[in-house]
Amino acid sequence: FTRGRERSRPLISVVDECNQLIQQDGVKEIILLGQNVNSYHDKSEQAVIANPQSDYATSNEGFSNLFRLRGGAGYYFADLVDAVSNLSPEVRVRFTSPHPKDYPPELLQLMAERPNVCNQLHMPAQSGSSTVLERMRRGYTREAYLELLDTVKSTIPDVAISSDFISGFCGETEEEHKETIALMEQVQFDQAFMFAYSMRGKTHAHRKMVDDVPENIKQERLQQVINTFRTWVQQRNDSIEVGKLRLVLVEGEAKRSTPENPTWSGRTDQNKRIVFPYHGTVSDHDDRLLMHNMDGGSIPAEVPLVPLQAGDYGVVEVTEARGHTLRGKLLCRTTLSQFHEQRIQDQLLA
């Protein structure tokens, strides 16, 4: 929970810092952080001169800005993501934590077109009930949120969606709770962060409302929310992940790796953790070898093998889903550009 007015760093300062991290520290993933990060608006003199006009609008007509008007000259979040992702085609770009109201078409289109901007969005719903959302002063309805999700999925077909949910907000009825369960079943989120409501000081709820849902009811509803998420994430991953080739940014040895069963792990573009066996070397990117590996064949002796390191990209075939963690088979080392330019996944699954 944060307090105070939103402030945005000048775009050039963020870009310069990211460039330093890439050039001097060799980072392979940049995460743009901020409370309501996608509400970013650089109104510095340099930004206003460079971008004197703005067509700012909320995600769709069902969203509103509760505290102040937005708009005017300067750089917006799509400009920042564009600038950072242009620094290197081999560096992934993510962002968190956003607000659903600020997903304009230009941001979604940039994500769809720019290979190194990850196809993963955090879209905190908090509740599936429009009446609860109104009491929370979220600035949107259930219908507006679902309309935005339809736009996101049609623009970025392979996108993964995560969300936040609060059980037992002030005055929440059983019917309102069921609306949240229904929303989760309809959307089938790829990840969710779920909590029972606890009142915090200096908030609108603290000043105007009563924390009147009994703690045992909060916990019961929270468990139902958790169970719903777990059921649907398993079904979703079984359906859309198993059999896919995923570009994985390798993080290193997995926590449960053993000398007898060495495993490494990493993150997919969709920010899903994937674990795979690794025995010290792997082949470099080659379409023919990928097809050979997928057919279960061994790598020919004349093919050179290379060691894998944390920070490398690997092509991993997903073989199993265990909740929101995936397991797979490492096929080769690659680069982000190679993976997307040759459209490996489309070629092999066509």
Rounded distance, CA 232 to CA 184, Å?
Answer: 8
* 345 vs 158, more confident: 158
Q: What is d(CA 37, CA 75) in angstroms, rounded to the nearest whole number?
A: 13
Q: Has residue 296 got a pLDDT over 70?
A: no
CA dihedral 276, 279, 283, 285 (to 10 degrees): 20
* % of the chain at pLDDT higher than 90: 80
Q: What is the pLDDT of residue 177?
A: 98
Report pTM: 0.91
| Average per-residue pLDDT for the chain | 91
Q: What is d(CA 147, CA 154) in angstroms, rounded to the nearest whole number?
A: 11
- Ramachandran angles phi, psi of 295, nearest 5°: -80, 0
pLDDT beyond 80 at 67:
no
Could you give the 3-state DSSP secondary structure of residue 156?
A: coil
DSSP string covering 31-68: EEE-TTGGG-EE-SHHHHHH--------SSTT---SSS
Kindly tell me if the per-residue pLDDT of 350 is higher than 60.
Answer: no
Sign of the alpha-carbon torsion through 142, 148, 153, 159: negative
Q: Which residues are CB-neighbours of 214 under 8 A, at least 6 positions away?
A: none
pLDDT of residue 203: 87
Over the stretch 82-110, which tens digit does the pLDDT of each residue have?
Answer: 999 999 999 999 999 999 999 999 999 99
Q: Are 348 and 288 in contact (CB under 8 A)?
A: no
User: Which residues 6+ apart lie within 8 Å of 232 measured at CB?
Assistant: 184, 185, 188, 189
* Phi and psi angles of residue 32, each rounded to the nearest 5 degrees, phi first: -80, 120
Amino acid in the structure at residue 237: N
What is the predicted pLDDT for the residue at 5?
79
pLDDT score for 55 = 78
Band (pLDDT 50/70/90 cuts) for residue 343 is low
Q: Is the dihedral of CA 329, 333, 337, 342 positive or negative?
A: negative
DSSP string, 89-101: TTSEEEEE---TT
Q: How would residue 299 be classed by pLDDT, with cut points 50, 70 and 90?
A: low
User: Lowest-pLDDT range, 15-24, 144-153, 271-280, 290-299?
Assistant: 290-299
First to last CA, the chain: 47
